[in-house]
Amino acid sequence: MPAISHPNWTALPRIPEPALPGIDRPVVTLTTAPSLLEGAGFPVRRPFPGREIGFRQADPFLLLDHMGAVEYAPGEPKGAPWHPHRGFETVTYIIDGAMQHRDSQGGGGLISNGSTQWMTAGAGILHDEMPPEELVKTGGLFHGFQLWVNLPSDLKRTPPRYQSLEASQVTLATSARADALLRVIAGDLGGIKGPGITWIPVTVIHASLEPGAQVRLPWPSQWNALAYVLSGSGTVGPSHVLIHEGQGVELGTGDVLSIGASPNPDGSSRTLEILLLGGQPIREPIATYGPFVMNTHDEIVQAFEDYQAGRMGTVPAQTLERRDR
Ligand code: MN
């Protein structure tokens, strides 16, 4: 897994364990992410929104798509050609392989090897999310996720913004015993800050736990808390609920997040690769249709009108021919 790492975890800053007594957040919901096809037909596992973890539990997050890990044959990789978004942010993190991104405002770049693209769609933007031509030609390993972060009503029409967060910028820290690598992509974990600038308080962490590691992390009590296993297996919460690849949990109230990695891992991954998400809930009504997430049905109708009238931008002329391939 070539996400950013460090040869000597003990040299990294450590997140001290929360002082006792802390309230260890219990698992309130466990979900096994269903598989579906997204974009032009690439496979994803979507732990939320779903029957178990809905918009209310995920708030301020909207959606998580786990892409792969998949070994593509030549010609097989697919993406999501030009389409609009309004009212939220898309966060794309690629662990293996690469994704070529471009948008109607001239933003974009190659996302690969632990880098992140944090796009605020806000008032409206068009973007194109495609595997690079080399990957289509040769096939190969592809693994990553896309997370949707909601915006409160007063920020849904904020001008679009693009943040390219290179793997080398990701803040690296470890657990108190240096048995877990914590990649802070955005937000704050025990005073350690990630590079991503967020509109509302949100923390996004990709953690790798050594076999047998037991980690306790501070987690603000007013935030929600979600965890999703990218690979490997382990336990979450005070009653050590078993969790494995493709499963996600919603955690209840408290101020500590506890995670353990299986001491004797089987399967492809030696470490537990887990995504930790938390943020300040927005608690506003959600009206959504396809690529738009607003507060009311009228705003969705308006979004379609604005998109069709070109008010969210237009596909750059020099890239139009790519659509016909
Ligand atoms: Mn998109």
Whether residue 324 has pLDDT greater than 50:
no
Whether residue 266 has pLDDT greater than 80:
no
Q: String of b and e for 8-39 (b: at least 16 CB within 10 Å)?
A: ebeebebbebbeeebebbbbbbbbebeeeebb
Q: What pLDDT is recorded for position 3?
A: 85
Expressed in angstroms and rounded, the spacing between residue 218 Cα and the centre of ligand 1 is 32
CATH number given to 11-309 = 2.60.120.10
Expressed in angstroms and rounded, the spacing between residue 48 Cα and the centre of ligand 1 is 16
Expressed in angstroms and rounded, the spacing between residue 129 Cα and the centre of ligand 1 is 7
Q: Are 265 and 256 in contact (CB under 8 A)?
A: no
Tens digit of each residue's pLDDT (9 = 90 or more) over 140-157: 999 999 999 999 999 999
Q: What pLDDT is recorded for position 319?
A: 63
**Dist. CA 205–CA 202, nearest whole Å:** 10
Q: What pLDDT is recorded for position 199?
A: 97
- Mean pLDDT, rounded, of the chain: 94
Q: What is the percentage of the chain residues whose pLDDT exceeds 70?
A: 97
Expressed in angstroms and rounded, the spacing between residue 113 Cα and the centre of ligand 1 is 20
Q: What is the percentage of the chain residues whose pLDDT exceeds 90?
A: 90
Average pLDDT over residues 8-21: 94
Expressed in angstroms and rounded, the spacing between residue 22 Cα and the centre of ligand 1 is 39
Q: pTM of this prediction?
A: 0.95
Expressed in angstroms and rounded, the spacing between residue 201 Cα and the centre of ligand 1 is 22
Expressed in angstroms and rounded, the spacing between residue 127 Cα and the centre of ligand 1 is 6
Whether residue 323 has pLDDT greater than 50:
no
Contact residues for 133 (Cβ-Cβ < 8 A; gap 6+): none
Please, which pLDDT band fits residue 84 given cuts at 50, 70 and 90?
A: very high
Expressed in angstroms and rounded, the spacing between residue 233 Cα and the centre of ligand 1 is 30
Q: Could you state, in order of their start, the residue ranges of all structural domains in the chain?
A: 11-309
